[in-house]
Amino acid sequence: MTEFRDPQFELSRFRLRLVAAAGFVLVCFGLLLARLVFLQVVKHEELATQAEANRIAVVPVAPNRGLITDRNGVVLANNYAAYTLELTRSQVRDLDATLEQLAQVVEITPRDRRRFKRLVEESKSFEPLPLRTRLSDEEVARFSAQRFRFPGVDIRARLFRSYPQGEVGSHVLGYIGRINPAEKRAMEDWEDERQANYRGTTSIGKLGIEQSYEELLHGIAGYEEVETSAAGRPVRRLRSQPATPGRNLQLTLDIRLQALVEQMFGDRRGALVAIDPRNGEVLAFVSRPGFDPNLFVDGIDLESWRELNESIDKPLLNRALRGTYPPGSTFKPFMAMAALHSGVRTGSQAMFDGGTFQFGNHTFRSHGDGGLGMVDMTRSIVKSSNVYYYALANDMGVDLMHAELSPFGFGRRTGIDLEGEASGILPSTEWKRRTYKRPEQQRWYAGETISLGIGQGYNAFTMLQLASATATLAAGGQRFVPRLARALQDPVDGRQTAPERPELAPIDLRPEHVALIHRALHGVTVEGTSTRVFAGAPYRSAGKTGTAQAVGIRQNEKYNAAKLEEHQRDHSLYMAFAPLEAPRIALAVIVENAGFGSEAAAPIARRVFDYALLGQVPSEEDLAATRQGRSSAPMGVPRAAASIALPGERSAAAAPLAPSAASASGSAAAALP
């Protein structure tokens, strides 16, 4: 059967299909063109940036940290470059097996493992952690040859902080350490520019000067733009901006004086702060025992951390900055000045010291078994009359004492350029209301005032506060904020600038009152409690010994050191300045649980003055006796100040000074300007 079709109809259908196909193709090409226009025109800048980011990596360049030196240019903190073996846990399948295999290629000590374990606990899995530092060239070559065996393990060249003087000045310098999670979270709140400056930085200042001047020492980070392959490996460097090193910092410290004082403490605990009363520069800032800050640079291991943190001697406690102690009789000169300034006493007023002071039904005892007889203000300081100051405190009252002594800096932070300073306690009725919760505790009782007069009771100050107050007294009321930073040096042009120093208004002290206290304090060194210690000194000094209770004893019970544990015995204190006519150095020193001030603290002060004013240090025999608390006036032939051996340099020849040179050097060659 033959089928008939309409050619015209078929042709029309074909044309329709052709138009539909052509339309579909045109629509597709239109969509493709639109997409092309969108990508090439509208999204051009964004996509070009992404492409560049895939091809180019911006690598931050951490700056060299600034150096720290003492006032004479001795290096206290510097940097060195070394190779470090680093491991990224997220890229390692079996951590323990990898460590065992690595130990066959490079040496990994038990301390390295302990330190690495501590870092693992504190860090995230994607962060590279140092397993070994300071690899030798041989170890680097040995690992590089077998690197393919250890995915997630690599060698990097890094800068490390070094403290060449070891323990000397450790509490002042502080240390740098790896940035911990808490510090990273705190950094997230920083402004963008500040955050960017710390990209690529793994360590920051944790304590002391390293912490206080962190951003100045850190410098400004640089960057490198590196073209990378598809595998992420660098192909070539496109451009870079070098990092700007941190500023170099010169301290006011004399590190040889610092080392001498630390040697004189020996194994004993305590603190000493020495200040130039003419400008507030800190010449020595000692806290004993100390620690080696180099332990913290790579990350301290758990065993070393426990040894430091759990020691009964508390080597990590900065006693000069944070340790608060009753000042004992070193408080009496300030009490006397407060009495003169307020008009409660005159210098000539005298009273009878019979050995006891009766207040109500309580008997306050003086030193020794008997009294001193009639004492005026000068004799009360020279012979250290407790009864005189019991009566004075009772006459003044706690609030007047607080008002008169607060300007000297007692009971408040000095503002020194170190973080973490304790404020201490200078009590008042308002202080007690703020401190205690129960009404009966908030009330001030008149009997509590009496012991304040001899530096006991609620009184508790740092050696920094006592040294600063002594410097103010030496300078006749002129006050300075104690400073450790002397100069900052720009690493680019070498220019030096002095850090800003807040100005303090002087205390309005009458010159005749200052002269009276100065004479009385000088009397302590020629006829008082420190006479033997300062015998033969070619300069005149002023000072006051103090003995402060570490624990209280029952009423009518006599103190007996032999019956107490070592940590319960009295503290030995001394405050002093010299030379008397034009003071250049003022200090406060405490030797914990060492007994009378004249036996332990004053001998250290005498030798500090000999160094600062005469340029000499004690003989080895005398140094050993001072360390053991068995010295008074210096014995043997003194040595030149240069003979103090620092860990960061070879020991200078211990050339003794001839007796004639020793006596003549007082005016010719002083160690401190």
For residue 2, give Cα distances in angstroms to 5, 135, 650: 10, 98, 122
Q: What contacts 172, CB < 8 A, 6 or more positions away?
A: 208, 209, 251, 253, 258, 285, 418, 484
- CA–CA gap between residue 417 and residue 487 (Å, rounded): 13
Task: Return the DSSP state at 456.
Answer: -
CB 630 within 8 A of CB 620: no
Task: Return the DSSP state at 321.
Answer: H
- CA–CA gap between residue 388 and residue 353 (Å, rounded): 7
CB 251 within 8 A of CB 69: yes
Q: What contacts 369, CB < 8 A, 6 or more positions away?
A: 355
My answer on whether omega of the bond before 579 falls inside 30° of 0, hence cis, is yes
Of 123, 170, 203, 329, catalytic: 329
Angle at 141 (CA atoms; ends 138, 144), nearest 5 degrees: 150
- CA–CA gap between residue 348 and residue 340 (Å, rounded): 11
For residue 515, give Cα distances in angstroms to 13, 337, 468: 125, 11, 19
Tokens of 78: 């510097």
**HSE-CB of 631 using CA atoms within 13 angstroms:** 25
In the annotation, is 406 catalytic?
no
Please report, in angstroms and rounded to a whole number, the separation of the first and last CA atoms in the chain: 131
Tracing tokens 């393990």 back to the chain, one arrives at: 153
Q: What is the DSSP string of 324-340?
A: -B--GGGGHHHHHHHHH
Closest CA to 64 of 299, 222, 190: 222
* Other Cβ atoms within 10 Å of 189 Cβ, number: 8
Greatest distance between any 2 Cα atoms in the chain: 156
CB 287 within 8 A of CB 313: no
Radius of gyration for the chain, computed over Cα atoms and rounded to the nearest angstrom: 35
Angle at 525 (CA atoms; ends 523, 529), nearest 5 degrees: 95
User: Would you please indicate which residues are annotated as catalytic (active-site) residues?
Assistant: 329
